[in-house]
Copies of this chain bind each other. A is one copy, B any other.
Amino acid sequence: METGFVAALGAWRTQEGPLSRSLSTAVREAVADGRLPAGTRLPSERELARALRISRGTVVTALTLLRDDGWLHTRHGSGSVVRLPARLTERTTPWSLDRGGASGADLDLTLAVTAAPHEAYLAALARAAERSAALLVDSGVATAGLPRLRELLADRYTRSGLATRPEQILVTSGAQAALTLLLDHLHTDRRAPVAVESPAYPGALAVLRGRRARLLPVPVAADTGWDTERLADAVRRGRPRLAYLVPDFHNPTGAHMDGPTRRALAELADRHELTLLADETMRDLDLRTPPGTEPHLSGRHVIQIGSASKTLWSGLRVGWIRAGADLVRQLRRNPLQAQLSPPPLEQLIATELLGDGLAALLADRRERLRAQRDHLTSLLAATGWTYAVPDGGLTVWLRLPGPVSASGLAARAARHGLAVTPGPLFAADRTTLSRHLRLPFTATPDTLTRAVRILRECAATEGERDRAAQG
């Protein structure tokens, strides 16, 4: 009898309700938090009953509950093993999202992230583990990135139209890490403002605020995209030396920059010695069929930032910078670089996942995300709220009707068990965009349906309250 199994259950008896249900809950939670790895073999029913000091009937009932729920797999003649249910391993929605996330709400729509591609990730991890032995005999200290990963990323850029050598790639622990490192090197005159989009990706705003950077917001809209004229005007007047942009399926609007705008921006950057930091984290999440063919935002004054955290998994923590080989060498000498360099093992996993299998993996993810986007927008169609169906990315950017305040709505929704992110969190000044709301379609259709229902009910109440206050 494996005593490890019983130990992993912890104090399972303290749960309320029937013993069989307590036992099945304890097993499920032990599998869910990794104390009982998927594939662990269960002791026999007789052994379990004896070890747990309960009747065999109670054990049988608990195991039936687990089996029906997908947490237990029984092969005749070879016993039962615990596993994660297929409904969890086969979905893109993070598990915690609809069971009370970090926010404490029942439904958490504040994160626009996906679960890992389960089978592909486990396979990549196994191959990376096989290849790790050669790394373990060395120092493991930070480098510019594993040679094979830098080659692979350079090849990807070259194949998508942007000729790139491996020396132009610096591997970082994500897109925000890349931005932090670039700002530390390039944002030396703190009086010069940094141009950002409005709305902007909150992760980037947090990094910029952390540096006490002055922000120069320039509007971007879900339907009409970037206004080159206004950007040019802002650059002439505000004289920023840096701009942070998300040209591909912009977070939160989903806007996608067309070819002429890309060229206009690259020229503007050259004319004003303005460095554009183009965050391409969402570029692979193109939901059009077939995917589009827009070029990279590129040019003498453009630095590309990439990341695997939205296309693959946030927990991988692998991103990169594509820049001139000289700048990459300078960034390598920055004291922050070593701390913002991902562990070699994660780089091996990234190398496995970003290689030949990526296209099939992305096709599958895109199909799931497309279905979820379509489900969400079909729900929103009935609301009368304003939004554009995004061509890619992970989010829909809503405008609420009439007087309804997004922060008020979010606060009310939170009381009804739904956490959402209101517009001001995407605003450089933290106060405008007060009629907007971001909804990620990374949730399951079920959760999206429940979430929109809660939002509609809350919006109706908020609307009435506002009208009453004004009347």
Contacts and interface: CB of A to CB of B under 8 A. Distances in A.
Contact of A133 (B38, B114, B143): B38
Contact of A139 (B91, B96, B131): B96
A333 to B, nearest CB: 10
A315 B118 contact: no
A39 B130 contact: yes
A413 to B, nearest CB: 20
Nearest to A40: B130
Given A37-B130, A345-B346, A139 B122 contact: no
A185 to B, nearest CB: 10
Interface in A83-114: 84, 88-89, 91, 94-97, 101-102, 111, 113-114
Interface string A192-206: 000000000001001
A89 B339 contact: no
A307 B89 CA distance: 33
A305 B207 CA distance: 24
A122 B133 contact: yes
Interface residues of A, number: 75
Contacts of A101: 139
A136 B313 contact: yes
A33 interface: yes
B141 A113 contact: yes
A299 B163 CA distance: 56
A381 interface: no
Interface stretch (A41-49, A171-179, A256-264, A425-433): A171-179
Interface in A315-349: 315-317, 334-336, 338-340, 342-346, 348-349
B89 A139 contact: no
A138 interface: yes
A396 interface: no
A158 interface: no
A1 interface: no
Given A34-B134, A37-B130, A129-B129, 19 more contacts: A34-B133, A89-B137, A94-B139, A95-B137, A97-B139, A101-B139, A111-B139, A113-B140, A113-B141, A115-B137, A115-B139, A116-B136, A135-B315, A139-B315, A140-B313, A173-B339, A180-B336, A315-B345, A345-B346
Interface of A: 31-35, 37-39, 84, 88-89, 91, 94-97, 101-102, 111, 113-116, 118, 121-122, 125-127, 129-141, 143, 147-148, 173-174, 176-177, 180, 184, 203, 206-207, 209-210, 309, 313-317, 334-336, 338-340, 342-346, 348-349
8 contacts: A32-B134, A33-B134, A95-B137, A96-B139, A113-B140, A135-B315, A176-B338, A210-B336
